[in-house]
Structure 1
Amino acid sequence: MPDLPSVVPSAFEVPDFSALQSPSPSHPPRILMLYGSLRQRSYSRLLTREAACLLEAFGAEIRIFDPEGLPLPDAAPADHPKVQELRDLSAWSEGQVWCSPERHGAMTGIMKAQIDWIPLSIGAVRPTQGKTLAVMQVSGGSQSFNAVNQMRVLGRWMRMLTIPNQSSVAKAYEEFTPEGRMKPSSYYDRVVDVMEELVKFTLLTRGISPYLTNRYSERKEAHAALEARLKLAEVR
């Protein structure tokens, strides 16, 4: 082994390929879907519902969170019913889909509020760490990627495994029938690609997520905390 004087040996682990063998799934992939508009004809909601149909066809179990009634972050206690519903769904999920309109060159406040209500950690539990994520956006004009790029940044911050593919639907008002179904197009084909990829990545990683997110720095902190407790016990 190379000389690594700055490494704590007890916390250092060599990656083990055998630990990357995902166990056989016992249930369908669990996917939570969030959308970012409260309009009566919300295209982010329509796109989310279209994606949900595809996910179900790919064998996933889905839940769509309705943001109606969700308070602004810090405007209500964490035990607010809508906040608890969102957090429970996030804990239940193994993967997520975030779909936002682009407004003023960014995701909407409704989309950001939902993400902000999901904490990075609750005690020793990290509600989003290691879960897969797909991002999509709808635009009223020409195709843009501002919202999906922002959501990718947030996905990394939430320690999620954001899949490579993404969907951006331009002039969304032209892409749906009066009944709310998405018309055949290259945009639709991309949505199919993204949902297929999300299910594959979720199947690939969900059983080994704890191993994938097991980090040297956190093991080092845990070892240091354990040693401190042992020394304190000896003193007592």
Structure 2
Amino acid sequence: MTELDLAEYGLRNIAGDDLKPIVEQRLVVPDLPAHPPRVLLLYGSLRERSYSRFLVLEAERLLRTFGAETRIFNPSGLPLPDDAEAGHPKVAELRDLCAWSEAQVWCSPERHGAMTGILKSQIDWVPLSVGAIRPTQGKALALMQVSGGSQSFNALNQMRVLGRWIRMVTIPNQSSVPRAYQEFDEEGRMKPSPLYDRVVDVMEELMKFTLLTRGQSGYLVDRYSERKAAREKQSTAETAALGVAR
């Protein structure tokens, strides 16, 4: 985009070198990854009869039916954030899975009107960047919650904020299962209902978004402000280097 273009549209505060045109061809990957979409699923309860885990297992069955490769992280033994080193085995496992994944599913019970600390701790252990790798940025995300009482969306709303904060592409659809103790049988399988149908909808939508976004995260989240900051930092470094050379 040239300075003439910027003047034509009245963009007086833009650094022309850093503003790039949207290239439609960049949004069509010519060489799509050949492997199945990789989906990591997280749940937020350590109870033996954990309905968030049961719901994640239902989601996993659907994702595998749609052709995904899945991993479920067991949060048991994960230390509190900042209460261990990043090399702790459970922390390392979680971070490796996040880097491996191309999409994620988060499912939390609602406890005291909020998502659980168990789910939040998992997210808190995943940094925005590990060296040159950003484990979550630009990846598709689906959200689900279970409640012991009536229909609620508090945990979902909180997780949606988190997903946006760590730059994930959070899909529009979501699942909330009220009175979860009534929705699963003794074997932990979800009973047929409109609530189950919604879970199917969410996983179907996640697969579509994953296929659209995987391999594209670098371009999808490439930002003008970050390009500008990087150029200015480079320019400052070069100026300093010239000063030393003189």
Cα distance in 2, alignment partners of residues 57 and 112 from structure 1: 29
Please tell me whether the aligned partners of residues 6 and 16 of structure 2 are also in contact (alpha carbons under 8 angstroms).
Answer: no
Per-residue deviation, 1:229? 2.5
Cα distance in 2, alignment partners of residues 115 and 230 from structure 1: 38
Equivalence for 2:220:
212
Alignment of 1:1-236 (within 5 A): 1-3=5-7, 4-23=11-30, 24-235=32-243, 236=245
Larger radius of gyration, structure 1 or 2?
2
Moved over 4 A (4+): none
Unpaired runs of 5+ in structure 2?
none
Paired residues, what number?
236
Cα distance in 2, alignment partners of residues 205 and 233 from structure 1: 40
Per-residue deviation, 1:231? 2.0
Cα distance in 1, alignment partners of residues 196 and 132 from structure 2: 40
Q: Which amino acid aligns with 2:140?
A: T
Cα distance in 2, alignment partners of residues 187 and 61 from structure 1: 24
| Identity percentage of aligned residues | 67
Please tell me whether the aligned partners of residues 22 and 204 of structure 1 are also in contact (alpha carbons under 8 angstroms).
Answer: no
SS in 1 for 2:107: strand
SS in 1 for 2:141: strand
Cα distance in 2, alignment partners of residues 80 and 103 from structure 1: 27
Per-residue deviation, 1:27? 0.9
- The farther-off stretch of 68-77 and 21-30 is 21-30
Cα distance in 1, alignment partners of residues 45 and 237 from structure 2: 49
Please tell me whether the aligned partners of residues 102 and 140 of structure 2 are also in contact (alpha carbons under 8 angstroms).
Answer: yes
Q: Which amino acid aligns with 1:11?
A: D
Cα distance in 2, alignment partners of residues 68 and 229 from structure 1: 46
Q: Which amino acid aligns with 1:41?
A: R
Normalising to structure 2: TM-score of the pair? 0.93
Please tell me whether the aligned partners of residues 6 and 12 of structure 2 are also in contact (alpha carbons under 8 angstroms).
Answer: no
Cα distance in 2, alignment partners of residues 124 and 61 from structure 1: 25
Q: Deviations over 1:67-101 (max 9, x none)?
A: 00000111111111100000010011010000000
Cα distance in 2, alignment partners of residues 25 and 120 from structure 1: 24
Cα distance in 1, alignment partners of residues 135 and 125 from structure 2: 11
Per-residue deviation, 1:9? 1.4
Please tell me whether the aligned partners of residues 136 and 166 of structure 2 are also in contact (alpha carbons under 8 angstroms).
Answer: yes
Cα distance in 1, alignment partners of residues 68 and 29 from structure 2: 17
Per-residue deviation, 1:146? 0.5
SS in 1 for 2:114: coil
Per-residue deviation, 1:8? 1.2
Per-residue deviation, 1:127? 1.5
Unpaired runs of 5+ in structure 1?
none
Please tell me whether the aligned partners of residues 102 and 147 of structure 1 are also in contact (alpha carbons under 8 angstroms).
Answer: yes
Per-residue deviation, 1:177? 1.3
Greater RCO (CA < 8 Å, at least 6 residues apart): 1
Cα distance in 2, alignment partners of residues 22 and 181 from structure 1: 38
SS in 2 for 1:6: coil
Please tell me whether the aligned partners of residues 29 and 61 of structure 1 are also in contact (alpha carbons under 8 angstroms).
Answer: yes
